[in-house]
Amino acid sequence: MKENNIEELERQFQEKIDNDIKIEPRDWMPDAYRDTLIRQISQHAHSEIVGMLPEGNWITRAPNLRRKAVLLAKVQDEAGHGLYLYSAAETLGADREETIDDLHSGKAKYSSIFNYPTLSWADMGAIGWLVDGAAIMNQVPLCRCSYGPYARAMVRVCKEESFHQRQGFEIMTTLANGTPEQKAMAQDALNRFWWPALMMFGPNDAESKHTEQSMRWKIKRQTNDELRQQFVDITVPQAEMIGLTIPDADLKFNTETGHYEFGEINWDEFWQVVKGNGPCNKDRVDARRKAKENGMWVREAAAAYAEKRANRNKEKRA
């Protein structure tokens, strides 16, 4: 009897999904759906927070006042995205602090792109243009994700990401039209970030263990390879427009398919970075762990003060 009930609930759940009715926090959902979303949303939140570090690395060295203000605003937006995403994960019953501890212990992942160092000012351009550009490709379909709070968070996030992408491209354009040193700086940033940006879409579809189920649940609406292809098709002409060269000898436009064909991604590098062996994995996680440890006494003070105040108010009322 009980089994029948679950089957019936699952049938109704899938029917809602098939009819594009959003799943809300209080609705019944299969455990695996909940777990998949918690994993995906918290990974996304961690990516926003860890993603503050490579760009934060250039705030104090930004080349002029306008760029400094824009970069500060951008990194602040990322912190804001992290905040709504942790809240979205909380609607599924995930505790924010526990989720963050999973990041620090290495149990939870975040986007591997942030394990690459930012070595020049041009990297601020490359990150905005390529990394935020790739993030938009991934996130626009998430605005239609079956889980209501995640979909709604993504609407707002995507608006800001598209501004970030444009400012990144504008930095690259300025450098590409600048002095030979500036152009070389831009090309070097593109060389270093191009392949890691393509890796942001995840393994090839044949290797992606979560894709099929996530597509059925409409958590994911397009496959990794489809999104990666869209990104390449949009980005290559942008690089050409500003006179930069994509670092891929195999890149060519196929006039029959209307798509760019591109070289093989170094999957060994991809898995190495995912496993924690990228150039900055340790630094990034250490920085976050330190922020939490160094902030412990501040959080304790805030809690202690709040309690004292509540008690004083109670005494006053009594």
Alpha carbon distance 176, 94 (integer Å): 45
Nearer to other proteins, 234 or 302 (CB): 302
Shortest approach of other proteins to residue 318 CB, angstroms? 21
Bridge pairing between strands 252-254 and 259-261: antiparallel
CA angle 94, 136, 198 (to 5 degrees): 100
CB closer to other proteins, 17 vs 53 = 53
**Which sign does the torsion angle of CA 47, 282, 264, 255 carry?**
positive
What is the H or E stretch that residue 253 is in?
strand 252-254
Q: Are 191 and 247 in contact (CB under 8 A)?
A: yes
Residue carrying the six token digits 């609930």: 9
Q: How far is the CB of 16 from other proteins (least distance, A)?
A: 33
Shortest distance in whole angstroms from residue 113 CB to other proteins: 16
Closest approach of Cβ 179 to other proteins, in Å? 6
| N-terminal to C-terminal alpha carbon distance within the chain | 54
Q: How far is the CB of 106 from other proteins (least distance, A)?
A: 19
Whole-angstrom Cα distance, residue 98 to residue 70? Answer: 32
Binding site for other proteins (CB under 8 A): 49, 52-53, 56, 59-69, 72-73, 75-76, 79-80, 82-83, 86, 121, 171, 174, 178-179, 181-182, 287, 290-291, 294-302, 304-305, 308
21 three-state secondary structure: coil
- The residue among 179 and 254 lying less far from other proteins, judged by its C-beta, is 179
Q: Minimal distance in Å, beta carbon 112 to other proteins? A: 18
Q: Closer to other proteins at the Cβ: 98 or 300?
A: 300
| Residue closer to other proteins, measured from CB, 153 or 171 | 171
The answer to whether 145 touches 221, Cβ cutoff 8 Å, is: yes
Looking at the Cβ atoms of 143 and 184, the one nearer to other proteins is 184
**Largest distance between two CA atoms of the chain:** 81
